[in-house]
Amino acid sequence: MKTFKEHLLESQKRYDFRIKIAGDFTTEQESNLKKVLDKYAVSGWKKAGKTPIQELPLDFPQIKNCEVNIYEVTLDYPTTQHELTEFIANQCGVNKSHLAVRRPGEPTEEYQHVEEKREGALLTDPDYKEAPNAKFEDFYGDKYNTGFVKELNDLLKLQRKERGEEIPTTEAAKFNTDSDAGKTSVLKQAKSPRK
């Protein structure tokens, strides 16, 4: 049986953040940032890199022509992005407009993920390797069309029921074309007023 201490060590959470600072950031400021973050018990620190000078950096649309320093930090003490942003801005003297704190995997980080280059156009692939588990009959064809029309009819019936309208039923047609009486046109049966 495990002791409480072992359970506590196994359940210890880590909080990953990606800190981005636009503009010049010296090694002295970098070491100061690391020292300041010790308040949150830094268990992982990595300088992910520095982007080249860009006219409009992705996370800083209000800043032009600057580079962005990126740090990946793992903290043992829980905190939020907003709280960490305020803390770093106050302790390190970084302007909040030049600072962005993100969580890995959030949507704003996903669009920056570099995709591997593919060869050729998607349309020239007859096997559709991009979607190996696609069931094409779920998206087109007779089965799909009948299901779609049935769903639309069900929605129409539901809307009519909510409005209190009479819902048409599947009764026999008023005019039976199978009998001889139903085969002649009503106009032919009418007498001409000229006679």
Give domain limits for the chain. 10-110, 122-165
Kindly indicate whether the domain formed by 10-110 is annotated with CATH number 3.20.20.70: no
pLDDT over 70 percentage in the chain? 76
- Token pair recorded at residue 37: 């973050």
State the Cα–Cα distance between residues 159 and 161, nearest whole angstrom: 5
| pLDDT score of 17 | 92
Residues near 16 by beta carbon (within 8 Å), at least 6 away in sequence: 44, 72, 73, 74, 75, 103, 104
Q: What is the pLDDT of residues 126-181, one digit of tens each?
A: 777 776 676 777 778 888 889 889 999 999 888 888 888 877 666 655 555 666 66
